[in-house]
Amino acid sequence: MYRAVTATLSFASLVLGQQIGKEVAEKHPTMPMKMCTAAGSCTTESTSVVLDSNWRWTHVTNGYANCFGGEGWNATHCADNAACAKNCAIDGANYASTYGITTPSSGALRLNFVTKNDNGQNVGSRVYLLASDTKYRTFNLLNKEFTFTVDVSKLTCGLNGAVYFSEMDADGGMSRFTGNKAGAAYGTGYCDAQCPRDIKFINGEANVAGWKDGTGGMGSCCAEMDIWEANNDATAYTPHPCNVFEQTKCTGTDCGVGDDRYKAMCDKDGCDFNSFRMGNKEFYGPGKTVDTTKPVTVITQFHTADGTDSGALSSIHRFYVQGGKVVANSVSAIPGVDAVSHISDQFCAQQKTAFGDNNYFATLGGMQAMGKSLKRMVLVLSIWDDTSVRMNWLDSVFPNDADPEKPGVARGRCDPMLGEPKTVEKDHADAYVVYSDIRFGAINSTFAAN
């Protein structure tokens, strides 16, 4: 919800560019998914994953010198945005040894939090689902459901194992931006509703101009549907619409930094459903109704007003399956909000009023705008910690100085300091998340709806 800086890149020596380097062969780990029909029968699709370009070694195209290092961009190779994209190459990734990304069994993906490697250590990662070696797998979520199984048992307070959709270009932006020679094969073209400015290459150019403390002069915006942002204490699912309907560069006010938050192209807050925040403190967590000490299957349904794949998005529903039983989502227990367990424009309006939040979700078009974006989404799987607000918006009291008894302020049981990156990277370096058994198809086709 408040994701600001999406990646912590701790390598002094690793960097990025937008040509293709030849020092490390890029081999995409396979992660097959299933397509299901109304009859409940599923077929396997041979999908794989690709690491985001921001995590990759970026060096000069004709050698090993870094284009970006601990001190930032190298002024010799990166005199300006266009020259830098031309002079610098992104290389292949050693998924397991450098980044701690493995596929423990067919259809499963494990992302380790901290990985010690030859360069020091890597913190967190972000991968995208590929349909082929050069194209992301795009999804039209309308009138469909998306299902996966997750093991969050080792994800402690302050961590976030996230599964979400972003409206990225299927080719990573290669055909729209001639400076981008690497494309989806190297995980380029990322965008999300926070309009992140820590992205090193945007629209085929390097983000050199204005680069300071890990962010540059440009951001990369697009609509985002958070299916799952979670650790073992708290979880939320959240639509974030934008007033643009493809990956779009922002440069000033429209990036929505600081006081411009409610002038951004995208709804940074979104309209979240977090069971704890919505008043049910016994629903999710270790030993709770959804028991986070064990794997859980998560089903998210996108209903349209007319029940067709081209209709207007009307509501987003959630079910869980654990131990062979379907568990309905918790219902809201907040005064002023109907006792519902799904997200709709009405839920968002009532929730924003009850919590005293700005309904920028509605300002940007609410469910209708979100639905327009849901027709061509790319799947993102990640693990991250939060360098700006310690993940407190997900699992603790936020804002920190607000009264926790006030509706909407408490989001989980976590101590607000536990999400401090220094602390969590030291005390829970061995944390990890496992995502498995991705299924997609008609409503109620991906699980036994008993």
Based on the residue annotation, tell me whether 229 is a catalytic residue of this protein: yes
Q: Which is nearer to ligand NAG, 38 or 333 (CB)?
A: 38
Residue position matching structure tokens 């609410």: 366
Q: Which is nearer to ligand NAG, 32 or 69 (CB)?
A: 69
Query: Which whole-number Å values give the CA distances from 444 to 41, 146, 165, 317, 342, in the listed order?
Result: 11, 10, 20, 11, 16
User: Which residue out of 145, 205, 229, 420 is catalytically annotated?
Assistant: 229
For residue 436, state whether it binds ligand NAG (rule: CB under 6 A): no
Of 19, 74, 149, 330, the one binding ligand NAG (CB under 6 A) is 74
Closest to 228 measured CA to CA, from 220, 219, 237, 241: 237
Which window, 10-18, 69-77, 194-202, 234-242, contacts ligand NAG (CB under 6 A)?
Answer: 69-77
**CB burial string 324-354: b at 16+ within 10 A, e below:** eeebebbbbebeebeebbbbbbebbbbbbeb
For residue 82, state whether it binds ligand NAG (rule: CB under 6 A): no
Provide the β-strand partners of residue 328.
319
Helix axes 345-355, 366-373, angle to 10 degrees: 120
Q: Which is nearer to ligand NAG, 360 or 447 (CB)?
A: 447
In the complex, least distance from residue 158 CB atom to ligand NAG, rounded to whole angstroms: 33
Q: Which is nearer to ligand NAG, 17 or 241 (CB)?
A: 17
Query: Which whole-number Å values give the CA distances from 370 to 90, 142, 167, 325, 362, in the listed order?
Result: 32, 10, 10, 31, 10
Of 25, 71, 178, 325, the one binding ligand NAG (CB under 6 A) is 71
Binders of ligand NAG in range 36-65 (CB under 6 A): 65
Of 131, 326, 331, 340, the one binding ligand NAG (CB under 6 A) is 326
Based on the residue annotation, tell me whether 205 is a catalytic residue of this protein: no
Q: Which is nearer to ligand NAG, 99 or 447 (CB)?
A: 447
For residue 177, state whether it binds ligand NAG (rule: CB under 6 A): no
Residue position matching structure tokens 């194992």: 161
Residue 374 — φ and ψ, nearest 5°?
-65, -5
Which window, 35-43, 71-79, 85-93, 346-354, contacts ligand NAG (CB under 6 A)?
Answer: 71-79
- Residues for the chain: how many in total? 450
Which window, 73-81, 174-182, 240-248, 338-346, contacts ligand NAG (CB under 6 A)?
Answer: 73-81
Of 13, 37, 44, 76, the one binding ligand NAG (CB under 6 A) is 76
Closest to 72 measured CA to CA, from 214, 178, 206, 201: 214
User: Which residue out of 26, 224, 420, 425 is catalytically annotated?
Assistant: 224
Provide the β-strand partners of residue 121.
116
For residue 12, state whether it binds ligand NAG (rule: CB under 6 A): no
Q: Which is nearer to ligand NAG, 319 or 361 (CB)?
A: 319
For residue 302, state whether it binds ligand NAG (rule: CB under 6 A): no
In the complex, least distance from residue 287 CB atom to ligand NAG, rounded to whole angstroms: 24
In the complex, least distance from residue 323 CB atom to ligand NAG, rounded to whole angstroms: 15
Which window, 74-82, 134-142, 208-216, 414-422, contacts ligand NAG (CB under 6 A)?
Answer: 74-82
CA 238 centroid distance within chain = 11
In the complex, least distance from residue 371 CB atom to ligand NAG, rounded to whole angstroms: 19
> What is the secondary structure of 10-40 as a DSSP string?
--SS----SEE--SS---PPB--EEEE-TTS
Sign of torsion over alpha carbons 412, 416, 418, 422: positive
For residue 319, state whether it binds ligand NAG (rule: CB under 6 A): yes
User: Residue type at 237?
Assistant: Y
Which window, 67-75, 206-214, 404-412, 426-434, contacts ligand NAG (CB under 6 A)?
Answer: 67-75
3-state SS class at 167: coil
For residue 118, state whether it binds ligand NAG (rule: CB under 6 A): no
Which window, 68-76, 215-223, 378-386, 415-423, contacts ligand NAG (CB under 6 A)?
Answer: 68-76
Report how far residue 145's alpha carbon sits from residue 318's, in angstroms, rounded to the nearest whole number: 9
Report how far residue 280's alpha carbon sits from residue 427's, in angstroms, rounded to the nearest whole number: 29
H/E element, 353? helix 345-355
Residues engaged in binding ligand NAG (CB under 6 A): 65, 69, 71, 74, 76-77, 319, 326, 443-444, 449
Task: Please give the positions annotated as active site.
Answer: 224, 229
